[in-house]
Structure 1
Amino acid sequence: MTIRPVRILVVDEEGPLTHVVSLALALEGWTVEVARDGASALRRIRSSPPDLVLLDVTLPDMRGTDLVTQLRASGDTLPVVFLTGRASLEDRIEAFTAGGDDYITKPFSLDELVDRLNPIVRRLGLAPTSRRFADLVLDDATTEVWRSDERVTLTPLEYEMLHALLEQAGTALTLGQVLRAVTARGMRIPREIGVRMLEHMRAAVNADRAPLVHLTSAGGWMLATA
């Protein structure tokens, strides 16, 4: 699976800071754009949405929290990480209440910044270890699973079963084929337990969403959009 570069919009009026941050993120292979105020940031988000936004609380024309409030009010779930010198509890509460995903205070290390962004990149399915199918994202490094940015809780064995279905998406696999795929990764499961685990995995992945994991009329297991 080819992963495109992560596109990040940095919204901050401090030129030296945005320059250093842009260089650090570019070293990760990510593409960075810069906006100096809230109005220009909103225009860029609406015309060419980035994958995530790094946002200062204090902007020349508005508060960063107001920008996020506007996004969330319009239904935009774009991940936003606040990067700011404002460290009070009240500022943090305001940022998360507005809909921020994380809050990093200045000064910060560039390594810390990358470490805090990486979980979001994995959730978006844009990490080198990511695998995506429709709105389903698996991350092989952490065995985490998401659907539409919502975490799906699976056991390690259930993750491997879902991974096996993803490897053959659109093709029905028998129970034996799924169990052999899991065994090939060093895990052995009795058939009767395997059935229960597949049923639990299917329920967790599908939940109240459009079904992706299917049990076919012939008894096969398949990952498909319909």
Structure 2
Amino acid sequence: MRRPDGTPIRVLVVDDEPALAELVSMALRYEGWQIRTAGDGAEAISIAHEFRPDAVVLDVMLPDMSGLDVLARLRSLESRVPVLLLTAMDSTEDRIAGFTAGGDDYVTKPFSLEEVVLRMHALLRRTGVSADTDGAQIVVGDLMLDEDSHEVSRAGEYIELTSTEFALLRYLMRNPRRVLSKAQILDRVWDYDFGGRSNVVELYISYLRKKIDSGRAPMIHTVRGAGYVLKPAG
């Protein structure tokens, strides 16, 4: 997913928790996007003037001003920039306030990084920022996954997956040829802290292999001591 001129999508991530901001930024960089971060409202507004982001991930609670005030300032710079709000509050009143202020979508803390990435893709497609017309499809070798229809096929043959298998395969396919650890997979697919639950990853990898690789050249590989990697067969 890229801008109409072929350059990377630009995203501004605004959060006063450095560790969280870095995790979100890292997940979005994996999409091939250009990321800038800000730790408070004043810095966010300053960076936005120069960076001109295509989308913004914005924490509602900031140390110097309300995230909704920042949102209003960002809207004055670029009225159509899509904004994903991060909030620790999940009441109806909070959601209404965010949408009334001009937020396009929101996620409630704690959230999974996979959810943030998915919502950002949806926002960018919906607001027309991306030039991609087939951005809902991910293709690796002869394996195709359609995020909108939730259909998967290999060499043209339809493969039926459960929702969890689909989420796991989507994460692997978004990171082809990249070794993903069990901890990363747990965080992005199950939103778990890594603590004795690695067996669920092994279990679902085995399920996927039976459906994706059975009777075919394997695409899902184990890297001993490191994790798993998906790459084109051959």
Counterpart of 1:86 in structure 2 is 89
Please show how residues 168-187 of structure 1 align to structure 2 within 5 Å: none
Answer whether contact 1:3 1:126 (CA < 8 A) is retained. no
Q: Mean alpha-carbon deviation: is it higher for 68-77 or for 47-56?
A: 68-77
Residue of structure 1 aligned with 2:20, choices 17, 21, 33: 17
Residue 35 of structure 1 is aligned with which of 35, 38, 50? Answer: 38
Q: Which stretch shows the higher mean deviation, 58-67 or 118-127?
A: 118-127
| 1:125/1:98 CA distance change after superposition, 3 Å | closer
Deviations 1:43-91 (A, max 9, x none): 1111221111100111011111111123335662221110121222111
Counterpart code for 1:12: D
Unaligned runs of 5+ in 2: 137-234
Structure 1: distance between partners of 2:37 and 2:121: 19
- Asked if 1 retains the 8 angstrom alpha-carbon contact of 2:48 and 2:74, the reply is no
Give 1:141 deviation, angstroms: 4.9
* 2:141 is aligned with 1:126: no
| Counterparts in 2 of 1:50 and 1:88: CA distance versus 1, 3 Å | same
- TM-score w.r.t. the length of structure 1 is 0.54
1:140 is displaced (CA, Å) by: 3.3
Answering whether residue 134 of structure 2 is matched by residue 140 of structure 1, we say yes
Partner of 2:221: none
Bigger-Rg structure (1/2): 1
Is there any run of 5+ residues in structure 1 with no aligned partner, and where? 131-138, 143-226
Residue type matched to 2:128 in 1?
A: L
What one-letter code is carried by the residue in structure 2 that aligns with 1:97? Answer: T
Q: Partner of 1:104: helix, strand, or coil?
A: strand
Alpha-carbon separation, structure 1, partners of 2:37 and 2:77: 22
User: 1:112 is matched with which residue?
Assistant: 115
| Partner secondary structure for residue 45 of structure 2 | helix
Any idea what SS the aligned residue of 2:13 has?
strand
Distance 1:75 1:19, change over 3 A: closer
**What secondary structure does 2:6 align onto?**
coil
Name the SS of the counterpart of 1:119 in structure 2. Answer: helix
